[in-house]
Amino acid sequence: MRAMSLAEIETPKLLLDLGRLDANLARMEARADALGVALRPHMKTAKSVDVARRAGAGAITVSTLREAEYFAAAGFTDILYAVGIAPVKLPHAARLRQSGVDLTLTLDSVEAADAATAVSRALGQPLPFLIEIDSDGHRAGVAAHSDQLLKIAARLDPAWTPLRGVMTHAGESYNLRGDEALAAMAEQERAAAVLAAERLRAVGHAAPVVSVGSTPTALNARKLTGVTELRAGVYMMFDLVMAAIGVCGFADIALSVLTTVIGRQDAKGWIIVDAGWMALSRDKGAARADFDPGYGLVCDEAGAILEGLTMIGANQEHGIIGRRDDMPPEPGAFPIGRRLRILPNHACATAAQHQAYHVLDAGGAVTAVWPRMNGW
Amino acid sequence: MRAMSLAEIETPKLLLDLGRLDANLARMEARADALGVALRPHMKTAKSVDVARRAGAGAITVSTLREAEYFAAAGFTDILYAVGIAPVKLPHAARLRQSGVDLTLTLDSVEAADAATAVSRALGQPLPFLIEIDSDGHRAGVAAHSDQLLKIAARLDPAWTPLRGVMTHAGESYNLRGDEALAAMAEQERAAAVLAAERLRAVGHAAPVVSVGSTPTALNARKLTGVTELRAGVYMMFDLVMAAIGVCGFADIALSVLTTVIGRQDAKGWIIVDAGWMALSRDKGAARADFDPGYGLVCDEAGAILEGLTMIGANQEHGIIGRRDDMPPEPGAFPIGRRLRILPNHACATAAQHQAYHVLDAGGAVTAVWPRMNGW
């Protein structure tokens, strides 16, 4: 396509800064290399074949079977579906494996193991599994030291539901701040996964795969001894949540939403723009006691942060920008039609509101439109 | 398509109860008839041609130009785009009008009026406008009694940017509760729009259109004297926000998200399901001091509310269901694979996470899949 200037683009649109994306990808690759583990990027944030290719990704992680199907169609065939499998999805998973995808599934209960073994046998299609370990009390998984772990492994059938190993995700890292706390959580994540694998091996399971990861722990782990692969996704884009945790700066955030001033309420110091929660999502996850960016931080068209401005309100297609310090913006600086960019709280949530990335080159022109997939 | 049982459907999926939809549509039609105004349904919630046809909609309201294009392609040609126009979108609006769509635009400033007049003249395509009135201090619009109103009208060119009248939306009604407060807000909305139209007529503008509406005010207006048309959208589906405001019951909510139990943390009383914020949105707008449904109220597969259960947490593809009263759910009642349905906080936001409605007939079978549009 011909390069387009931002001034030509109807708003709201999702912008992806290619230079920042590349730097973020390189940073995580260097981390994985330094830690001596394979990187299995999680595509749940980007949901884009173009981004996956840019990442040079071989093996990938996905959050839905539709993602698996989408990436498989583009030639990615080593895929981990990192959400506990619902029995109703087992035939779909089997079809993907039959089509040549080396899909690995996840579970954390005897009930799920029994369901999977019954279905794989009935369909004549083996379904390999990782057992999910709960390393942080955040969500799913069994404790690494639990009897449950060995019971699940015993119920998996080597012929039909081969056990490939263990995986864990320290999502609780999103509630921490600072290198020390994150390094401690990374060690907790590593230790839980390695302990679980060792306990499985002690009773005769090979359990070759030990898979860990979240962006904050991946970027702060001091060592990953015993781990075989690292998963992370949001690091490709970064966002205000990651900046609040301290694993990136605002200048690393590769995603922004391009918007246009469509009105003002000068008496209140409000600037009304055409990016509301539909374009930004309802996620306000970056709010902290000492810093609340509302629905997003406001930048000029070139991406420079406009100090003190924040999106204080959002309706479906209207955003309300105000000042955090209650000093109203200078109306003359925000004429109707001015372009602004909003840095998102949560890249996964904001990107999911859009159907494509408008890709910005180093000169600030849009040189490509990369589609993304959504839905189930 | 052949009728499918819910048990066959991979989750998460968005369900639309046809009987409830029809009852909700009929209720608003009866309101508009009783109030003696035309109904111009807002398609921003449903974003579906099938729903618009079910509503028997002629004239419609949209929230994006892409919606206008989508509905125009299906034969809906009387369309109000009810968000203040960004200058960059004027050529797109002109193309839609050139293609035969009677598109009306909205603005609330002299700057936007000047931009629109310049573009419509340059393109040789008249662009008719409503002036947006601020009836509640909620968002956009000029005050009905302001000098600004007459200045904007004076800047519109009868040949190129004909003034069709005024519109207002009392979005502040979402922060009220109970019939009396909503009836008062409906009167405030009506009075502001009618005053603005009368002031315009007093200085020689015809201003035939007086357009008002929000679901809560539309359902509680005692009279709409002087109003010509009523706009509302979320009434088609209803949601927990509308139930909290008091304009519907839980049993009127036509949308739900079908999900599957994929795990449990019995020690914590958690049920893990495969609908997270990606399927439900991050919207928690129904939370009140005396009632907080979290990410949604939990129903059984048939749609009956399971008392006391609520979605207390949501990650991207994981929902965590717990009890509001801290009594843990009975694990045996929630085996892996059990189907549940979640009533959403905000129908517009939840529906936007999906690409289709799975339409439920009176027998609880899925008899149609209605696509919806998203994006800009």
Per-residue pLDDT of chain B (376 residues; tens, 9 = 90+): 889 999 999 999 999 999 999 999 999 999 999 999 999 999 999 999 999 999 887 999 999 999 999 999 999 999 999 999 999 999 999 999 999 999 999 999 999 999 999 999 999 999 999 999 999 999 999 999 999 999 999 999 999 999 999 999 999 999 999 899 999 999 999 999 999 999 999 999 999 999 999 999 999 999 999 999 999 999 999 999 999 999 999 999 999 999 999 999 999 999 999 999 999 999 998 888 788 899 999 999 999 999 989 999 999 999 999 987 666 677 789 999 999 999 999 999 999 999 999 999 999 999 999 999 999 9
At B308 the pLDDT is: 87
Strand order through the sheet with B102-107: B38-39, B229-230, B209-212, B163-168, B129-133, B102-107, B78-81, B60-62
CB contact under 8 A, B140 and A272: yes
Given CB atoms, is B7 within the 8 Å cutoff of chain A? yes
Chain segment A359-372, per-residue pLDDT in tens? 999 999 999 999 99
CA distance B5 to chain A (A): 12
- From B88's Cα to the closest Cα of chain A, the distance in A is 6
Question: What is the pLDDT at residue B84?
Answer: 98
CA–CA gap between residue A291 and residue A345 (Å, rounded):
12
What angle is formed at CA B309 by the lines to CA B304 and CA B313, rounded to 5 degrees? 125
The model's pTM is 0.97
Cβ–Cβ contact A354 with B under 8 A: yes
A44 → chain B, closest CA residue: B316
In angstroms, the CA A371 to CA A313 distance is: 28
Q: Give yes or no for a contact between B57 and B76, defined as CB atoms under 8 angstroms apart.
A: yes
Chain B stretch 254-273, residues whose beta carbon is closer than 8 A to a beta carbon of chain A: 260-265, 272
Q: E strand or H helix at A313, and its extent?
A: strand A305-314
Q: Which of A140, A282, A317 sits opposite B263 (nearest CB)?
A: A140
Q: What does the pLDDT read at residue A56?
A: 83
If you count residue pairs, one on A and one on B, with CB atoms under 8 Å apart, how many are there? 161
Helices A110-123, A90-98: crossing angle, 10 deg rounding = 50
Which of 203-242 (B) contact A at CB < 8 A?
Answer: none
CA distance B307 to chain A (A): 23
Q: Do A260 and B88 touch (CB under 8 A)?
A: yes
Measure the CA–CA gap between A329 and A265, rounded to whole angstroms. Answer: 11
- pLDDT given for residue A367 in this prediction: 96
> Given this model, what pLDDT does residue A328 score?
67
DSSP line for B73-104: HTT--EEEE-SPPPGGGHHHHHHHHHTT-EEE
CB nearest A316 (choices: B10, B44, B65): B44
Q: Does A347 touch chain B (CB under 8 A)?
A: no
Q: Enter the tokens of residue B49.
A: 């041609």
What does the pLDDT read at residue A326? 65
Which residue of B lies nearest to A265 if distances are taken between CA atoms? Answer: B140
**Which of B15, B315, B340 best tests the A interface by mutation, with the highest count of A CBs <10 A?**
B315
The CA radius of gyration of chain B, in Å to the nearest whole number, is 22
**Residue B262 tokens, joined:** 């994929």
Q: Which residues of A touch B357 (CB under 8 A)?
A: none
B179's CB contacts (< 8 A; 6+ apart) are: B220, B246
Asked if B283 is an interface residue toward chain A (Cβ–Cβ < 8 A), one would say: yes
Query: Which residues of A fall within a CB distance of 8 Å from B65?
Result: 10
Closest residue in A to B142 (Cα–Cα)? A265
Nearest CB neighbour to B318, from listed A83, A282, A348: A83
Q: Answer yes or no: do A111 and B336 touch at CB < 8 A.
A: yes
**Closest chain B residue to the Cα of A12, Cα to Cα:** B376
Residue B147 touches partner A, C-beta closer than 8 Å: no
Establish if A62 touches chain B: CB-CB under 8 angstroms.
no
Instruction: Please list every residue in chain B whose beta carbon sits closer than 8 Å to the beta carbon of residue A265.
Output: 134, 140
What backbone phi and psi angles, to 5 degrees, belong to A202?
-65, -25
Closest Cα in chain B to A81: B317
- Residue B174 neighbours by CB distance under 10 Å: 19
Three-state DSSP class for residue B283: coil
Picking from B49, B52, B48, the residue whose alpha carbon sits closest to that of residue B40 is B52
Contact criterion met (CB < 8 Å) for B10 and A92 = yes
Give the chain B residue nearest A234 (alpha carbons).
Answer: B316
Q: Where are the alpha helices (DSSP H) in chain A?
A: 18-35, 49-54, 65-73, 90-98, 110-123, 147-155, 179-202, 215-218, 240-245, 277-280, 347-351
Give me the pLDDT at residue B328, please.
Answer: 67
ipTM rounded to 2 decimals:
0.97
C-beta separation of B291 from B244 below 8 A: yes
Rounded Cα gap, residues B321 and B342, in angstroms: 10
State the Cα–Cα distance between residues B341 and B306, nearest whole angstrom.
10
B123: enclosing H helix or E strand: helix B110-123
Cα(B55)–Cα(B49) distance, integer angstroms: 10
Q: What CA–CA distance (Å, rounded) separates A373 from B1? A: 25
Strand partners, B346: none
Low-confidence ranges of chain A (pLDDT < 50): none
